[in-house]
Structure 1
Amino acid sequence: MRSIAVYGLKKCSTCIKAMAWLEANGMPFAFTDYRDNPIAPAVLAVLADELGGWEKLVNRASMTWRNLPAERKAPQTAQDWLALIAEFPALIRRPVMVDADGQVSVGFSEKKYSAIFA
């Protein structure tokens, strides 16, 4: 059985809540702060594919996205998305969780995690 992988930022309050929930529910996990340890482009591509596209992986409601120049907000290729994420890692939705079965989800709510791990 694979372990749960959680990707996020160590100071992100939503990531902290997600990890606290996993700990409280006895779910072992490995956390990766992607600002300190960038996610490999091949892994990012798999995560985006599993979620149904780059638009699902990137938080386009974030202040980081809103502050981008208009021409940067229309990535056309996977390479464009990867370059944007490499430059602005905070664009990735938080947290990204890959459960033991390889299912990928973004964000956290107790209801959502309870349903995933039921």
Structure 2
Amino acid sequence: MKPTLYGIKNCDTVRRARKDLAERGVDYRFHDFRAEGIEPTTISGWVDMLGIDQVLNRRGTTWRKLGQQVQDPTDVSALIALMAEHPSLIKRPVFQRDQQVQTGYPRAEAESRLAWFAGAEQPDSPPQQD
């Protein structure tokens, strides 16, 4: 099964990752979760693997535009539902290979992230964000 890169096609970081993958000839599927949507069960699986702080983007414009009442929930299921409703709240890109997931595309880890996504062993260090 092909690995899947999840993101939003207009996101600069996603565009950089897609360009780097194309330059390396990596065969993958792209899922634009703004255009195609994203199932809460998929997000829930990512949160189970990585934790809410590795999946929820609290630094973006969408988060800042939400009212304080929406931002306050500590209930993970409410946050997952919010991400499904507003996919731009998901940290991007999301790399999924087999049953493993990594979020973000930090420049310092780009090579190891791409190698892992293309089929190399998972890096020793935990996933990090930009």
Supply the AA of the counterpart residue of 1:49.
D
Q: Tell me, what secondary structure is at the counterpart of 1:75? A: coil
The residue number in structure 2 matching 1:12 is: 11
Provide the aligned C-alpha RMSD in A: 1.7
Structure 2: runs of 5+ lacking an equivalent: 121-130
The answer to whether the Cα contact below 8 Å between 1:10 and 1:16 also exists between their aligned partners in 2 is yes
3-state DSSP of counterpart to 1:59: coil
Secondary structure of the residue that 1:61 maps to in structure 2? Answer: coil
Matches within 5 A, 1:11-30: 11-30=10-29
Equivalent position of 1:113 in the other structure = 110
Q: Deviations over 1:54-97 (max 9, x none)?
A: 22101111121122211211223333112211332211111111
Q: What one-letter code is carried by the residue in structure 2 that aligns with 1:70?
A: Q
Deviation at 1:39, TM superposition (A): 1.3
1:110 CA drift (Å): 4.6
Do the aligned residues in 2 keep the contact of 1:95 with 1:107 (CA within 8 Å)?
A: yes
**Letter in structure 1 aligned against 2:61:** M
Tell me the TM-score normalized by structure 2.
0.78
1:40 corresponds in structure 2 to 39
SS state at 1:71 partner: helix
Larger mean Cα displacement after TM superposition, 13-22 or 68-77: 68-77
Counterpart Cα distance in 2 of 1:45 and 1:89:
13
> Which runs of 4 or more aligned residues in structure 1 lie more than 4 Å from their structure 2 counterparts after TM superposition?
none
Q: SS of the counterpart of 1:104?
A: strand
SS in 2 for 1:108: coil
Question: Does the 8 A contact of 1:18 with 1:109 survive in 2?
Answer: no
- Percentage of pairs with the same residue: 33
Q: Tell me the TM-score normalised to structure 1 length.
A: 0.85
Contact 2:43 2:84 (8 Å CA) reproduced: no
The total of aligned residue pairs comes to 115
SS in 2 for 1:90: helix
Contact 1:58–1:91 (8 Å) recurs in 2: yes
Match of 1:59 in 2: 57
